[in-house]
A = this chain, B = another copy of it.
Amino acid sequence: MSSTYGENLKLSIFGQSHGPAIGMTLDGIPAGLPVDFEKLQQFLNRRAPGQNDWSTPRKEEDCPEFLGGVLDGFTCGAPIAAVIYNKNTRSGDYDNLKNCPRPGHADYTAQIKYGGFQDAAGGGHFSGRLTAPLCIAGGLCKQWLEELGIRIGAHILEIHNVADDNFDFLNPQLDAIATDFPVLNQKRGEEMRLHIQDARKKGDSVGGLIQCAITGLPDGIGEPMFGGVESRISQILYGIPAVKALWFGSGIEASQMFGSQFNDDYQVIDGKVITATNHNGGILGGITTGMPVLFCAAIKPTPSISKPQQTVNLKTGENTTLEVQGRHDPCIVPRAVPVVEAAAAIAIYDMILGNTQTDRRK
């Protein structure tokens, strides 16, 4: 329910930020799929902190250990289980975190829901660190999708009012974004970095937008109503901390366009049916058209800032001022890019596994 996802595959994520380990189990995966551990590690490194100048200087190594499900480089049909042991485990007194919730974090809602029993250290199970096991699962799904000719790639679309170019909706430039600060327009990327540095200096933070494209997806994937591609992707995407908006294709511009503009006309080119535009983001009635699937997610500014903030001491019931210690990402958007890709890969691979309709027909 809470930290599990999937209709055909079953993903279960566990762990707390400062607990002994974080990890995941992934059940329902066919046997005989290859696992490229090196490629997976490269993918995980894109999310890991401390890799560059625009993220937190904390160094964490995200090296998964596989406890089951993979044998001699192939899936063996048993549930896949992998853990990342925490180097900096829990120590000290975290009562202050329980008493004086940090604005924008889940401290307050966790305290309400779990009545003080929650693991408050570093945000516990609500920590962004839990996106690491999500990236293990997603990194694997991404590999298996690539085997099927399906590619997933995302770039930073906007950081604090500085906008990158949009993907070409008919031919997303997936090869152009394979850098550690993935943007299409490098000059805008430079500007974004300056804004991030500026926020850091101010003890503040900034958010942004991420745009993701999925290419090579067969038509006919997804189910009607609540099993549509938008429904399946959105459920997992909103499981990423800090995601507060999501749209598909030109969805956000729905109120700016006439139907005659938004509708994607069909045409035959080289015997293949394609659409002349792709405002619907490759999805109609929840089902893929065969055109690239495109969506955008908005990431809120990192809640952890150095500036003093107003909060409440839940024990005394008095207003108080909080200064969050430690060094944090002034902008989580670049590290969230692979997480968005991972979430999309899991959702898509789940739908591919469940696509009995098209299997039967063939």
Contacts and interface: CB of A to CB of B under 8 A. Distances in A.
Contacts of A243: 230
Contacts of A170: none
Contact of A260 (B231, B286, B309): B309
A228 interface: yes
Given A268-B318, A300-B251, A356-B8, A109 B3 contact: no
Contacts of A231: 234-236, 238-239
Contacts of A206: 255, 258-259
A25 B12 contact: yes
Nearest to A206: B258
Nearest to A282: B109
A358 B259 CA distance: 44
A114 B70 CA distance: 12
A262 to B, nearest CB: 5
A55 to B, nearest CB: 15
A177 interface: no
Given A239-B228, A310-B265, A244 B207 contact: no
Contacts of A161: 255-256
A105 interface: yes
Contacts of A246: 234, 245-247
A70 B269 CA distance: 34
A275 B81 CA distance: 34
Given A77-B110, A103-B265, A230-B243, A158 B25 contact: no
Contacts of A258: 160, 199, 202, 204-206, 301
25 contacts: A1-B10, A4-B27, A8-B354, A13-B225, A20-B65, A20-B68, A31-B114, A32-B117, A77-B357, A103-B264, A103-B275, A104-B264, A104-B284, A108-B284, A161-B255, A199-B258, A205-B258, A231-B238, A246-B247, A254-B301, A257-B301, A260-B309, A263-B309, A266-B311, A353-B356
